[in-house]
Structure 1
Amino acid sequence: MLLQEKNNITPEEYLSLERDSEIKNEYFAGEMYAMAGASRSHNKISTNIVRVLGNQLIEKPCSIFSSEMKVKIEAIKKYTYPDIVVVCGNEEYDDENNDILLNPVVIIEILSDSTEAYDRGDKFSHYQFIDSFAEYILISQYFQKIEKFIRKKDNTWIYSKYEKTEDTITIHSINCQLSLSDVYKDVNLSEYHMRRNQLKLKT
């Protein structure tokens, strides 16, 4: 969730503030946006994915990073924090701090009520300015549902959706597989629905 903004700052000012900040902030067009904390389900899904894909990438020239790694979209001077990012081959960074990745191949976002529209809309559009970006994966933390977008050579995208426990997704750009049973292992999806039903009863 984007909580607040600080206006009219330069990228250099943003980086100076961000590296000393106790919370994560995105940056775009002179504005600095604070990010909200993640739920247990969000964190569990992220941990599951990093574990499963990390094991498959051990013998490959690829690295996987969780939400502490910033990504810079050079074409529009935007700094953002994907939930999970995979890079292969030569890792390109913005500076000697090696904390701002320039060439992600796979980006994974875990959707929430407050971020879903952004992740599907502007954020996805902005990611597409990155030449190396090949696959985009959106994961619901409330329902058993994963969506995948694969970039074609003409810069159009192929969409697919997975909702069954036995479904397995192939991430072609890194030659890895991700099953829904692994992604949602020990994730209590009923918590969200119980909370939503309780709110409905109060209204």
Structure 2
Amino acid sequence: MPLPKEHRYTLADALTWEEQERIELIDGAAVMMAPPSRVHQEIAAELTRQIGNYLDGKKCRVYPAPFAVRLFEKAHDRPEDVDTLVEPDLSVVCDPGKLDDLGCKGAPDLVIEILSPSTQRHDRLTKYNLYERAGVAEYWIVSPEERTVQVSLLSGGRYRVAELYTPQDIAKVHVLDGCFVELSKVFPTE
């Protein structure tokens, strides 16, 4: 839910906020994030485990939230210049030059968002458009309720939905050659 906008918030403001507060900045507007559910965290942990195991010994890294991604930050930007800061549920970054002590400056190669009732619209619309505009090559939207993974790939500056996976599928990670995710382990039967 957006905070009352008294002014345009920036990374400089965010660096002064309490560490336990989960707030994203979208074009200068602060958006509070609710704590994730247990199921959300189990899905995030399994995705992190599978992708992390694949990346062992490789240059790419997977980062679970909280991990600050400054999608549009340029090398010369000061914290006062950065007005978009998101915390994807998982980010895969293959360019070590994009990493710093705060997180990632620029677009990760892969972003995964896990839907919750409070973030569904935000993840499907706002973040979808942000990630597309920033040049995130692959965007997964994971729905715990529907037990699906929607994979969108960037082509010509626009996303196209490439696949819609269900629990019995093995999902291909397009930006990581040879990486596949067993969705039966992501969405186990109760």
- Name the TM-score class by shorter chain: 0.7 to 0.9
**C-alpha distance in structure 1 between counterparts of 2:134 and 2:140, whole Å:** 15
Residues 24 and 6 of structure 1: CA distance in aligned 2, closer, same or farther (over 3 Å)? farther
Pick the aligned partner of 1:149 from 146, 149, 152: 152
CA deviation vs aligned residue, 1:13-55 (integer Å, no higher than 9, x gap): 423323x332111113332222110100000000000001100
Structure 1 length-normalised TM: 0.79
**C-alpha distance in structure 1 between counterparts of 2:158 and 2:117, whole Å:** 28
Matching residue of 1:107? 111
**C-alpha distance in structure 2 between counterparts of 1:171 and 1:153, whole Å:** 19
2:120 partner amino acid? E
Q: List alignment gaps of at least 5 residues for structure 2.
A: 74-81
Residues 62 and 4 of structure 1: CA distance in aligned 2, closer, same or farther (over 3 Å)? same
Give the secondary-structure state (helix, strand or coil) at the position aligned to 2:42.
helix
Give the secondary-structure state (helix, strand or coil) at the position aligned to 2:43.
helix
Residues 108 and 159 of structure 1: CA distance in aligned 2, closer, same or farther (over 3 Å)? same
**C-alpha distance in structure 2 between counterparts of 1:98 and 1:3, whole Å:** 23
Matching residue of 1:34? 32
Give the secondary-structure state (helix, strand or coil) at the position aligned to 1:43.
helix
1:86 aligns with 2:85: no
Matching residue of 1:125? 129
Q: List alignment gaps of at least 5 residues for structure 1.
A: 189-203
Matching residue of 1:199? none
How many residue pairs match? The answer is 181
Matching residue of 1:66? 64
Q: How far 1:183 moved relative to its partner? A: 1.1
CA RMSD of aligned residues (A): 2.2
Matching residue of 2:13? 14
**C-alpha distance in structure 2 between counterparts of 1:46 and 1:5, whole Å:** 30
Structure 2 length-normalised TM: 0.84
Q: How far 1:141 moved relative to its partner? A: 1.4
Tell which structure's C-alpha radius of gyration is larger. Answer: 1
Runs of 4+ aligned structure 1 residues displaced above 4 Å come to none
**C-alpha distance in structure 1 between counterparts of 2:35 and 2:11, whole Å:** 25
Q: Quick one: percent identity of the two aligned structures?
A: 24
Give the secondary-structure state (helix, strand or coil) at the position aligned to 2:127.
helix
**C-alpha distance in structure 2 between counterparts of 1:36 and 1:154, whole Å:** 31
